[in-house]
Amino acid sequence: MRVAEQPETGAGTGSQGFFINGKGRFLPDAEIATCSTYRDACALAWERRTQAGLTLQALAALADLYPSHVSDYFQRDALNAKGNPRRSLPAEKIADVERVLGNRILSQYLMHRGALTIMEAVLAARGA
């Protein structure tokens, strides 16, 4: 079901995805498809946060994350400057992070990835 432009509520769809009061909550599928890893989706979610002034420290406090780990979660590079692997955002924190960032990019990425996996299985079964 598509949401039509609803100026009285501030909700509507357009080329930039789903908006609530002018703030993006969902991105177009094509943009989500550019994320090749969960780490890319985390970085994109951070880049597209609705409050540009939000800091990683504030995100940690509002989403109940370890402050010293947060900078790892939103880096595109899987390894730090010393060559050590960066931590990944725990799955149980996705809802809290999305609430604070004001977007659903992480959930969209996981749904997109899941759909690809199911489609790959269907195609493999047909080809076998």
Per-residue pLDDT averaged across 98-106, rounded? 95
Is the pLDDT reported for residue 16 higher than 90? no
Q: So what's the pLDDT on residue 121? A: 80
Q: How many CB atoms lie within 10 A of CB 102?
A: 16
Per-residue pLDDT averaged across 62-87, rounded? 97
Taking the C-alpha atoms of residue 128 and residue 89, their distance in angstroms, rounded to an integer, is 37
Considering only residues 20 and 16, tell me which one the structure prediction assigns the higher pLDDT. Answer: 20
- CATH superfamily of the domain spanning 28-127: lambda repressor-like DNA-binding domains (1.10.260.40)
Taking the C-alpha atoms of residue 120 and residue 92, their distance in angstroms, rounded to an integer, is 26
Alpha carbon distances (Å) from 17 to 8, 26, 40, 47: 18, 5, 19, 15
Is the pLDDT reported for residue 103 higher than 70? yes
Please state the domain extents for the chain: 28-127
Is the pLDDT reported for residue 17 higher than 80? no
φ, ψ at 73 (rounded to 5°)? -60, -30
- pTM as predicted: 0.74
Considering only residues 62 and 8, tell me which one the structure prediction assigns the higher pLDDT. Answer: 62
Which of 69, 85, 74 has the alpha carbon at shortest distance from 42?
74
